A and B are shown apart, each in its own frame.
Chain A
């Protein structure tokens, strides 16, 4: 027994230290990006200024003229917000119906919805370009980006809402029905207040996925509806001359989302594994 306690006392010190080191290694690239964003472009590529330099905010103050950052950022905010809102608008009633009045087919419908998420986007790249450019004439519009982001995330939204709604006792909803509350009233006054946490974290996660989406937002836009993914992707070859300003714009692009992400770690598991891991 003595050996066991001895070992665990040693373990009590060493394992947390290793955990901290691993965590710092994983965080290092993000730290490095933020750190470099305070260097001038000239300092950023000089080894002698690797750690010691005069910090400057010029990369942030010049972001608008260097990259037209705000135009892309506003597009990202608009498209992600509306796509999230629209997904919830379509997803909440669907998940409500599926969890409180399930039919024989509910399970199949849910699984089929997930399967749409598993289609490789590249396979339908040309038809999507063709349809939106030549046929519907909505290529490079906010409307298109919002619609596509919504469709891409709708399965996850419905699935997450479904797992949250399932936890709510049916009797509460039934009681509402007895009192003659309309369906819309049930959703608005009973369901959403009860499942508020679930709805909020679904929205948050959907927003993050929309923000980070990098296939359709890049392929289906040119300028008008281009998001931050497109901005960064367009500056993929700075040839080392602009590490400082590139770091600043990257930090501005991912910063808010990383912080938001910290708040929905738990929901992430549910959202990404479709409730298969609890």
Chain B
């Protein structure tokens, strides 16, 4: 055996497995997206089995783009959820990473507490937040609002100050079960889970910051804000873009949280819409799936390019 065949042989199983995993289902999706294929249709039973004779060309794509009323809503909602999560996690992550990037008593415990949410499984995360924390009646959300209302009601009995508090309205807890508010609930719970990820990455990166440069800046009289803007932020540019891209890819296919929180209230993102199509209209589901692949690829190309560059270092 020559010197080069063995190494190739060793990586073959991994390559073949991933090749099958990537190509077979995806080419089936591509094929289904060009034919009429539904799971139940009494009038046209021939559409219920995939076959080339049911060729529909770009009909499924047209249907998804122009006729399925939820498609653009789902795309917009996906983007809204993903962008909100990214903005929140990056800002919170930066702030917390700066906060923890110093020595103080109990720093190790603080780190452990901060990272914990990341390891909670998505299903538990969603069930915990939507029921026990955000529920407007039984959750902490509802209990806290009732408590505040009672407090204000009590304060109304005081002389002088009471007149001020009687101007305050009775608060009503926000229900996170409506279409729009349940998107907020998803944003809250995913931000809670992924801020630790941003913190961890920014913290790792902050530890490699040039301390001498910083000291020089302090001697030159640079304030905390200008140090942050001119030294720390440029140093973190790369980790920030990595955090943004990884989250963009992962959260574009967010599913468990949406399914658990929405419960058919109309709040959906692209993967959820594909799941809905999959119950009957496979052609449309596949066309929407191809759109999801394109959307993910737009981000993935940038991420891969950046990762590829760091591979050379």
Contact = CB atoms under 8 A, between A and B. Distances in A.
Contacts of B88: none
A246 B122 CA distance: 15
A16 B98 CA distance: 11
A44 B113 CA distance: 24
B191 to A, nearest CB: 11
A276 interface: yes
Contact of A126 (B3, B29, B121): B29
Interface string A33-54: 1001000000001010010000
Given A109-B15, A257-B121, A125 B200 contact: no
Contacts of B123: 214, 218, 228-229, 232-233, 236
A178 interface: no
B89 interface: no
Interface residues on A, range: 35 or more
B65 interface: no
A139 interface: no
A214 B197 contact: no
Contact of B246 (A229, A253, A273): A273
A183 B21 contact: no
Nearest to B106: A20
B121 A253 contact: yes
A78 interface: no
Interface string B111-153: 1111111111111101111111101011010010011000000
Interface in B59-117: 96, 99-100, 102, 104-107, 109-117
Given A122-B271, A126-B282, A214-B256, A154 B18 contact: yes
B292 interface: yes
B113 A26 contact: yes
Contacts of B113: 23-24, 26-27
A120 interface: yes
Interface residues of B, number: 106
B308 interface: yes
A145 B269 CA distance: 25
Contact of A232 (B116, B121, B133): B121
Interface SS majority for chain A: helix
B300 A212 contact: no
A240 B131 contact: yes
Interface in B245-280: 246, 249, 252-253, 255-256, 259-260, 263, 270-271, 274-275, 278
A240 B24 CA distance: 43
A261 B311 contact: no
B205 interface: yes
B29 A123 contact: yes
B204 A240 contact: no
Contacts of B204: 266, 269, 277-278
B310 interface: yes
Interface in B167-195: 192, 195
A276 B313 CA distance: 10
Contact of B304 (A24, A115, A250, A261): A115
A151 B138 contact: no
Contact of A122 (B124, B126, B275): B275
B14 interface: yes
A121 B256 CA distance: 12
Nearest to B37: A126
A125 B274 contact: yes
Contacts, number: 297
B300 to A, nearest CB: 4
Interface stretch (B5-13, B40-48, B209-217, B225-233): B5-13
B193 to A, nearest CB: 10
A61 interface: no
Most chain A C-beta atoms within 10 Å of own C-beta, residue among B22, B124, B259, B282 = B124
Interface stretch (A63-71, A88-96, A192-200): A88-96
Nearest to B95: A22
Contacts of A208: 119
B14 A123 contact: no
B255 A273 contact: no
A120 B271 contact: yes
B293 interface: yes
B253 A116 contact: no
A26 B307 contact: no
Most chain A C-beta atoms within 10 Å of own C-beta, residue among B14, B29, B118 = B14
Contact of B127 (A212, A235, A257): A235
Contact of A20 (B110, B121, B133): B110
A120 B133 contact: no
A188 interface: no
A237 B278 CA distance: 23
Given A32-B133, A107-B311, A111-B308, A276 B238 contact: yes
A233 B275 CA distance: 15
Contacts of A268: 115, 118, 197, 200
28 contacts: A12-B104, A19-B96, A19-B107, A19-B110, A22-B96, A23-B111, A26-B196, A30-B116, A32-B128, A50-B143, A94-B10, A113-B15, A119-B22, A120-B296, A122-B255, A122-B289, A125-B285, A127-B24, A127-B32, A214-B121, A229-B123, A232-B121, A233-B256, A236-B259, A243-B132, A246-B127, A257-B121, A273-B242
Given A109-B15, A123-B274, 10 more contacts: A26-B116, A118-B300, A131-B25, A154-B18, A212-B122, A229-B121, A236-B127, A266-B204, A269-B201, A269-B204
